[in-house]
Amino acid sequence: MRELQRLCDNRWACRYAACKTVSSRLPSVVQLLTEIEAGDNAKRAVEARALLSSLDCTFVLTLVFICDILGRTQSLSLMLQSVDINFSSAVNLINTVRANLTELRSQDENFNNLYTDAVQL
């Protein structure tokens, strides 16, 4: 069972997990916010309405893109937090991730795939 998580200020791995959870549970989040918006608590209803209005196409596209990028950098993030970090291995992994992200920017096919995922979401 996945639960929505609090934002962790210092761990990118936590942000990746949070993004994945929101992405996989977005229909449930929208349903819950809709129910809260229709509820009796006026303050919560206003907050839910504001959150619902921010869940637009730009939000979904950004969510899909950020999940993809954080997923590609997760192994580097975990390695850099390791107590047994090897400087040479870290530099190699940094260069690999950097090259991967640079290549990602030049591939229209990847953008099209992510856009399709966002539209389906």
pLDDT score at 7: 60
Q: How far apart are CA 101 and CA 72, in angstroms?
A: 8
pLDDT score at 47: 93
pLDDT per residue, tens digit, the chain (121 aa), is 455 666 665 566 678 888 888 999 999 999 999 999 999 999 999 999 999 999 999 999 999 999 999 988 888 888 888 888 888 888 998 999 999 888 888 878 888 888 899 999 8
CA dihedral sign, ordered 105, 111, 113, 118:
positive
pLDDT score at 62: 92
pTM of the model: 0.76
What is the DSSP annotation of 9-67? Answer: SS-HHHHHHHHHHHHHHHHHHHHHHHHHHTSS-HHHHHHHHHHHHH-SHHHHHHHHHHH
Q: How far apart are CA 108 and CA 34, in angstroms?
A: 36
CA dihedral sign, ordered 98, 94, 24, 50:
negative
pLDDT score at 42: 92
pLDDT score at 103: 87
